[in-house]
Amino acid sequence: MKVLILGGAGMIGRKLAQRLASDGALSGKAIAKLTLHDVVPPVAPAGARMPISLATGDLPAPGEAERLIAERPHVVFHLAAIVSGEAEQDFDKGYRINLDGTRCLLEAIRKAGYKPRLVFASSIAVFGAPFPDAIGDEFFATPLTSYGTQKSIGELLVSDYSRKGFVDGISMRLPTICIRPGAPNKAASGFFSNIMREPLAGKEALLPVSESVMHWHASPRAAVGFMLHAAALDLARLGWRRALTMPGLAVTVGEQIAALRKVAGDAVAARIRRVPDAFVEAIVAGWPRAFAPRRALELGFRADSSFEEIIRIHIEDELGGAIA
Amino acid sequence: MKVLILGGAGMIGRKLAQRLASDGALSGKAIAKLTLHDVVPPVAPAGARMPISLATGDLPAPGEAERLIAERPHVVFHLAAIVSGEAEQDFDKGYRINLDGTRCLLEAIRKAGYKPRLVFASSIAVFGAPFPDAIGDEFFATPLTSYGTQKSIGELLVSDYSRKGFVDGISMRLPTICIRPGAPNKAASGFFSNIMREPLAGKEALLPVSESVMHWHASPRAAVGFMLHAAALDLARLGWRRALTMPGLAVTVGEQIAALRKVAGDAVAARIRRVPDAFVEAIVAGWPRAFAPRRALELGFRADSSFEEIIRIHIEDELGGAIA
């Protein structure tokens, strides 16, 4: 089978590629070729057991999606997106990549006249406050960002193209990915990862909100697990409701810190410095805290078992097992 | 104030134009000019108290929306759409008019750099079975037609462009319009109107479903009332949740027939011939039966008071007060 990852240079794209390269198979079938595409040059995963093709280009540019689909990949992971903050700042760019790009992909598939599996990475940003304490599967999408709007539109398109028989698609609303590797970023949500990653690396981290703030998390490893499960699932079980909220862990910042103390000790947890920031606190107050993702659980999607596990995954996958 | 009606040759567009032409004002302000636009030539309303401009063109064609917005209408009623059946049969045409057309309009407004009131006609087709007996305001949109998908996307765009300050928009999910004037059409929902309109005109009508079938109705006059109310409302009261399910009447076919008998007599009601059609019955089983449109009611939108009123409105507005 041939596999295409759009957004193959991104954090999840790279981890998914590495996993597929190591496994050598997807849904029980050997991968004959793995293509990574992104707007910046993707990097081939180490130790791949199959040919890797690296492609750089602009998804909504004329002919780009057609070229990628011409190889008739059996599974397409569509992770390419302008992230939330940038889509909010650059309205045209967000719509061009996140809406037009997705539509170009779907049209290319429709015109190619075959029906690949499409796994579309959506986001809990499709939801906008106010919401219940735990958001159920039938709660409406009222995004408060252009990014969330574009993801919600992508979900609708994936469902309609699936219903019409043009593609076999599923949209997965990913939790906030924690612990996000790499340097601290300026995203308002960055602190959820920063306060874990930086102390584990021997550095100080700033906590801008109170410890009572609750949020919905999944590890990068869990997110890759969702992708693999979505690629293998019999989507007829979903009917035409092809967008699913993925399971995650609803934990407070206080619980995150307690887990860090338990896994890495008091000295590491002491590297978190509390610097309340009313601006960040106000933004975060508008975010979902928890979900009741009954459908995804029934379909076999599995979250991390605890926040301690999320921390251990980071130590194993990013720090080679060692805490600073 | 200047008013633009897109879809001005359609059933609701014509009735809205006639009402505005007679009133001479909207939201308490005199209408200086009323423009009707459609892909087929619109007809000027009779007895207009202001200049009427008639325009024919293709909304998503390059420059079309810009030309219409160049006059800087204060209120834009966007009723232009490929209807459900046609959008399902002609996938490209449906997306071109219903999605691209709406986006072209929003982009033209954004680029013109002013903030008109936009009243977008959406539909209860954004909902797809299964659903609760009465669909609440926070129920999710999982359309089972491309038309419903396109309307749902339009709602998301109107909300996002409003949130960004590019337009002051509202999306209204209209109930099924009953009694629809004109010749019987082939729409699966046509019988709800046919079984009232044809007997009132002295003709026989076929009823393809059982009398227990319940559906959600509003008269054309009520729909025009929704439009006028939406044009005048302070939309800040909606926050960024700019899509509203309009109130309607949840009545069974049996209740429709009882109302017809009460208003027009046994002889008229006897013109309905029961010819069960399992195909139509199956389609209708997937449609919403009733809603709990709390938000719209709180905001002052008002449905017809009874199905008898709906019949009387038809007799007054379409039959000059006389029953055949």
CATH of the domain at A265: 3.90.25.10
- Listed residue (B290, B203, B210) closest to B257, CA to CA: B210
Q: Is A147 a catalytic residue?
A: yes
Q: pLDDT digits over A22-59, tens only?
A: 999 999 999 999 999 999 999 999 999 899 999 999 99
Give the count of Cβ contacts less than 8 A between chain A and B: 57
pLDDT of residue A15: 98
Average pLDDT over chain B, rounded to an integer:
96
Residues A223 and A298 grouped into a single domain:
no
Q: Could A138 and B143 be called an inter-chain contact, meaning their C-beta atoms sit closer than 8 Å? A: no
| Chain B neighbors of A241, CB-CB under 8 A | 128, 142
- Nearest CB partner across the interface for A140, out of B91, B138, B157: B138
Contacts of residue B98, Cβ cutoff 8 Å, sequence gap at least 6 = B81, B82, B87, B147, B150, B151, B154
Q: Which of A110, A133, A156 to mutate to test the interface with B (most CBs of B within 10 A)?
A: A156
Q: What is the DSSP string of A57-82?
A: --TTSTTHHHHHHTT--SEEEE----
Residues A110 and A18 grouped into a single domain:
yes
Residues A284 and A225 grouped into a single domain:
no
User: B119 with B230: CB under 8 angstroms?
Assistant: yes
Q: What is the mean pLDDT of residues B244-262?
A: 98
Alpha helices in B201-277 (DSSP H): 220-232, 253-264, 266-269
Q: Which of B98, B149, B161, B241 to mutate to test the interface with A (most CBs of A within 10 A)?
A: B149
pLDDT of residue A66: 98
| Chain A neighbors of B143, CB-CB under 8 A | 156, 159-160
- Parent domain of B14: 2-175+218-245
CA dihedral A22, A25, A28, A30 (to 10 degrees): -140
Inside any domain, residue B253: no
Inside any domain, residue B183: no
- Nearest CB partner across the interface for A144, out of B137, B142, B240: B240
**Residue whose pair of structure tokens reads 């000027």 in the numeric block:** B44
Inside any domain, residue B13: yes
Contact with chain A for residue B128, Cβ under 8 A = yes
Inside any domain, residue A47: yes
Using the predicted structure, report yes or no on whether residue B92 has a pLDDT greater than 80. yes
pLDDT of residue B295: 98
Using the predicted structure, report yes or no on whether residue B286 has a pLDDT greater than 90. no
Contact with chain A for residue B149, Cβ under 8 A = yes
Alpha helices in A102-218 (DSSP H): 102-112, 146-163, 190-200
Instruction: Pick the residue from chain B with its C-alpha nearest to A238.
Output: B142
A261-281: buried (b, 16+ CB within 10 Å) or exposed (e) per residue?
A: bebbeeebbebbeeeeeeebe
User: A40 with A12: CB under 8 angstroms?
Assistant: no
| C-alpha B174, offset from chain centre | 5
**Å from B132 to nearest chain A CA?**
11
Inside any domain, residue A184: no
Q: How confident is the model at residue A324 (pLDDT cuts 50, 70, 90)?
A: confident
Contact with chain B for residue A134, Cβ under 8 A = no
CA atoms within a 13 Å half-sphere pointing along the CA-CB vector of A199: 26
The beta strands (E) that lie in A183-315 are given as: 205-207, 214-218, 243-245, 249-252, 272-274, 290-292
Alpha helices in chain B (DSSP H): 11-23, 64-69, 84-89, 91-94, 102-112, 146-163, 190-200, 220-232, 253-264, 266-269, 278-285, 294-298, 307-318
pTM value surpassing 0.95: yes
β-sheet bridge partners, residue B6: B37, B78
Please report, in angstroms and rounded to a whole number, the separation of the first and last CA atoms in chain B.
42
pLDDT of residue A183: 86
Q: Could B141 and A142 be called an inter-chain contact, meaning their C-beta atoms sit closer than 8 Å? A: no
| Chain B neighbors of A137, CB-CB under 8 A | 140
Using the predicted structure, report yes or no on whether residue B49 has a pLDDT greater than 80. yes
Residues A160 and A43 grouped into a single domain:
yes
Residues A233 and A304 grouped into a single domain:
no
Residues A240 and A206 grouped into a single domain:
no
Q: What is the ipTM of this complex?
A: 0.97
Inside any domain, residue B258: no
| Chain A neighbors of B159, CB-CB under 8 A | 142-143, 149
Q: How confident is the model at residue B79 (pLDDT cuts 50, 70, 90)?
A: very high
Q: Could B143 and A160 be called an inter-chain contact, meaning their C-beta atoms sit closer than 8 Å? A: yes
Inside any domain, residue B144: yes
Contact with chain B for residue A114, Cβ under 8 A = no
Using the predicted structure, report yes or no on whether residue B186 has a pLDDT greater than 80. no
- Listed residue (B24, B17, B10, B5) closest to B45, CA to CA: B17
Using the predicted structure, report yes or no on whether residue A185 has a pLDDT greater than 90. no
**Å from A182 to nearest chain B CA?**
31
Burial of A165 (0-12, 13-18, 19+ CB in 10 A): exposed
% residues pLDDT > 70 (chain B)? 100
Q: Give the number of domains in chain B.
A: 1
Using the predicted structure, report yes or no on whether residue B183 has a pLDDT greater than 90. no
Residues A116 and A202 grouped into a single domain:
no
Q: pLDDT digits over A142-182, tens only?
A: 999 999 999 999 999 999 999 999 999 999 999 999 999 99
Interface of B with A in 64-103 (CB under 8 A): 91
Using the predicted structure, report yes or no on whether residue B187 has a pLDDT greater than 80. no
Using the predicted structure, report yes or no on whether residue B73 has a pLDDT greater than 80. yes
Residues A74 and A127 grouped into a single domain:
yes
| Chain B neighbors of A152, CB-CB under 8 A | 156
Residue A69: is the preceding peptide bond cis (ω within 30°)? no
Residues A148 and A255 grouped into a single domain:
no
Residues A205 and A298 grouped into a single domain:
yes
Q: Could A149 and B156 be called an inter-chain contact, meaning their C-beta atoms sit closer than 8 Å? A: yes
User: B8 with B14: CB under 8 angstroms?
Assistant: yes
User: B88 with B145: CB under 8 angstroms?
Assistant: yes
Task: Give the DSSP H/E element, type plus range, for residue B25.
Answer: strand B25-26
Cα separation of A235 and A159, whole Å?
11
Quote the DSSP letter at residue A49. S
Q: Could A149 and B141 be called an inter-chain contact, meaning their C-beta atoms sit closer than 8 Å? A: no
**Å from B243 to nearest chain A CA?**
9
Inside any domain, residue A270: yes
Cα separation of A53 and A73, whole Å?
12
- Nearest CB partner across the interface for B160, out of A149, A240, A243: A149
Using the predicted structure, report yes or no on whether residue B125 has a pLDDT greater than 80. yes
Contact with chain A for residue B124, Cβ under 8 A = no
Contact with chain A for residue B146, Cβ under 8 A = yes
Average pLDDT over chain A, rounded to an integer:
96
Q: Could A139 and B141 be called an inter-chain contact, meaning their C-beta atoms sit closer than 8 Å? A: no
Q: How confident is the model at residue B188 (pLDDT cuts 50, 70, 90)?
A: confident
CATH code (residue A158): 3.40.50.720
Cα separation of A318 and A311, whole Å?
10
Residues A71 and A197 grouped into a single domain:
no
Using the predicted structure, report yes or no on whether residue B274 has a pLDDT greater than 90. yes
Q: Could B160 and A138 be called an inter-chain contact, meaning their C-beta atoms sit closer than 8 Å? A: no
- Listed residue (B191, B184, B183, B194) closest to B209, CA to CA: B191
**Å from A97 to nearest chain B CA?**
15
Q: What is the mean pLDDT of residues B131-151?
A: 96
Q: What is the mean pLDDT of residues A191-208?
A: 97
| Chain B neighbors of A240, CB-CB under 8 A | 128, 142, 144
Contact with chain A for residue B126, Cβ under 8 A = no
Residues A142 and A49 grouped into a single domain:
yes
Q: pLDDT digits over B12-38, tens only?
A: 999 999 999 999 999 999 999 999 999
pLDDT of residue B260: 98
